[in-house]
Amino acid sequence: MSAAQFENKVWESLCNFVVPYWLVAVWLCTCIATEALAATSAQKPNIVIILADDLGYGDLGSFGHPTIKTPQLDQIATEGLKWTNFYVASPSCSASRAALMSGRLPARNGTAPTDPARWTFNTNSLGGLPPEEYTIAELLKDNGYATAAIGKWHLGHLPKFLPTNQGFDYYFGIPFSNDMAPTLYRSREVLPEHVDMFEHPQAKHWNVPLMRNEEIIQQPADQETITRQYTEEAVRFIKNNRSKPFFLYLAHNMPHVPVFASPAFRGKSLRGIYGDAVEELDWSVGQVIDALKKSGIAENTLVIFTSDNGPWMVMNQYGGSAGMLRGAKGTTWEGGMREPTIFWWPGKVKSEVVTEMGSTLDLLPTFAALIGASLPKDRVLDGYDLSAVLLKNAKGPRQVMFYYRFQEVVGIRHGRYKLHFKTSDPLSPSDAPVVHEPPLLFDLLVDPSEQYDVADQHPEIVNELIKIRDEHVASFTPPPSQLDLVTNN
């Protein structure tokens, strides 16, 4: 064998030995990259809901307030989806929150009020969101999520109704409204001599408990720093769970009366103490967003900001503003149920103003769609999947919104038109409502302030909306209200 032949034989042997290993290495790298890409694309998004209490449609800078400064919320409203027609299912706290959690109307899930004396769950309540309701937290926990509720619950304070028995791994907060368990008066009537409690609030005036899971850790809760405490807990939860999918429900007590702000924010807003509280909420949102970014998970996190109902107009300057919308908390005018709402999800949600209709009722089915989870088949849901609106800028599926006063449909919106059968006075929403015969009809695209009745111009639309209302009412019978279950002690 010549030297050249020997050299070729050696080279051939080396190639036979090396090439297969080289190919194996390429194959392994390709597999790893493919699996990593698949894992990334299949990664379930974190979900954060930030809920304000009694925040008005017009109380954020991005929604038109001239003096309250909300740069953090304005920024995510610019970067994400700013919804201008987003609704809650009730103009009162407990029923609204129950609908958000269950994706079902309060008249269907047993939390619709029946008595003006019992709008919400109170310290003497024996009821709450029924355990058989399937909550957002249960849906997500069943699909591998860590879950935490931080802040106001208001869906029953007895152990079986607390967040830890409704799908949440962890709870930190006040189990009902911050104005309950007053120390200076006992009846529901607030007399003139009690006004100072709201004008110059002190935490000691309300004996509300601060809880961790099912244990009271402070009573009365230090409401002067409650927004900061909730924020710190939320940031801690994000950092501790950044390596796995999580659901954070951050439900602030502010700016519900009595209005408090931490020392760093007190006296800073041109809007007074109410503005101070809203500006601290804005800071809180900024802290949450910053924690997501620093943890490297912002692009895999959907953040939703909204409110539970409209402003408490009865409280004068200590309540908020619905801006150009008519009405307030406790009413089915737009100001009672249309809320300032923002969806933020970097890299997934485009910057846009959304004029489609949406509702907190839609959150549960939307989350199910985003994570590929199945919805329960044993009950009627009142929500729609908004995922195509979020990710593809598609037309929204919601065309109808029902406005309930207690267990009665007193208004309905279909497309651009809204029909009122009964309306309430924002300054006395517990009084008997005004009955409208014929009903009032408003074109909300032209007249969002509900000033110009056009019923006589569109009798066919009036009849169509009455038919939709009648079919809805005939479709089910509301169960007994959990709000009627109280103790006399």
How many residues appear in the chain?
Answer: 489
257: Cβ contacts below 8 Å, ≥ 6 apart: 54, 179, 198, 312, 315, 318, 319
Q: Is 154 a catalytic residue?
A: yes
Q: Are 236 and 170 in contact (CB under 8 A)?
A: no
The tokens 């006063």 sit on which residue? Answer: 405
User: Which residue out of 65, 154, 157, 256 is catalytically annotated?
Assistant: 154
The residue from 65, 93, 252, 256 that is catalytic is: 93
CA distances to 108, 181, 471, 472, 478 from 475, in Å = 11, 39, 6, 5, 10
Assess whether 15 carries a catalytic annotation: no
Which tokens belong to 176?
A: 């009902």
- Enumerate residues 6+ apart whose C-beta is below 8 A from 351: 78, 79, 80, 81
DSSP string, 132-153: TS--HHHHHHTTT-EEEEEE--
Cα torsion for 415, 416, 422, 427, to the nearest 10°? Answer: 120
Backbone torsion region of residue 362, taken as left when φ is above 0, otherwise alpha when ψ lies between -120 and 50, otherwise beta: alpha
Q: Are 151 and 252 in contact (CB under 8 A)?
A: yes
Q: Which residues contact 137 (CB under 8 A, 6 or more apart)?
A: 101, 147, 149, 163, 166, 167, 168, 247, 249
Contact 286, 227 (CB under 8 A): no
CA gap 423, 426 in Å, rounded = 9
Catalytic residue numbers read 93, 154
